[in-house]
Structure 1
């Protein structure tokens, strides 16, 4: 199963960008957490890949400090999630950040055609 976001796609400012809604945004959060679990299971207490350190920080921030989500499909602003670290520092992740993290997890073995549980 590969995460394929739905929605309208348009070309703007020389980059591919899309309008996403809150359902798209929260689906991306869910897929990120699911992929993270698959990677953790495959690592089975082995060495943690250094290329996933930023994704690990993102996952921890989402799980322990998520405060808000914002998405307006009629606006060019990209959907975001926001929260605070355990030390009180504010953070924000865009929909594109979440999709990039999912892709990194899938590249690192967090892709599975069907659940085994």
Structure 2
């Protein structure tokens, strides 16, 4: 019998889940950078890996739009955490353990502990799948 809200969950567990999402995003970025290193003409070394991926994906010979969409979806929670984290709660009287983030429009979002764990797992699976792709996945068309 799995309990949706573990009574043992404490604030440090919540923050560990935030850290896990951020670290797994970093691992995914490293894998993206490995794929981006092939055919680096016209590269943007100071741009974020996701921005580099978008540009390379648009220029790629193969259709990598599915990868780009999946990476963009995976980035949503990471971006809220990295750019808008404003609080966290692990007290039962406040509800399920969650963090509070503010997006660029000022809208507040609650991300539950379980959703953080799921996001970390999704990021890791995405990284592992990307790792199995050929290094020249983003082979540039040269345009």
So what's the TM-score if we normalise by structure 1? 0.71
Moved over 6 A (4+): none
Stretches of structure 1 that go unaligned for 5 or more consecutive residues are 1-9, 111-117
Matched, 1:101 2:119: yes
Contact 2:5 2:97 in 1 (8 A): no
Within 2, Cα distance between the matches of 1:30 and 1:67? 15
* Bigger share in helix: 2
Partner of 1:6: none
Computing the radius of gyration from Cα coordinates, the structure with the larger value is 2
Q: How many residues align?
A: 96
Rounded Cα–Cα distance in structure 1 between residues aligned with 2:114 and 2:105:
25
1:61 equivalent in structure 2: 80
Backbone CA RMSD of aligned residues: 2.1
Please, what TM-score do these two structures have when normalized by structure 2? 0.59
- Per the alignment, in what secondary structure is the counterpart of residue 127 of structure 2? coil
Q: Which runs of 5+ in 2 are unaligned?
A: 37-52, 58-66, 129-143
Higher relative contact order (CA 8 A, sep 6+): 2
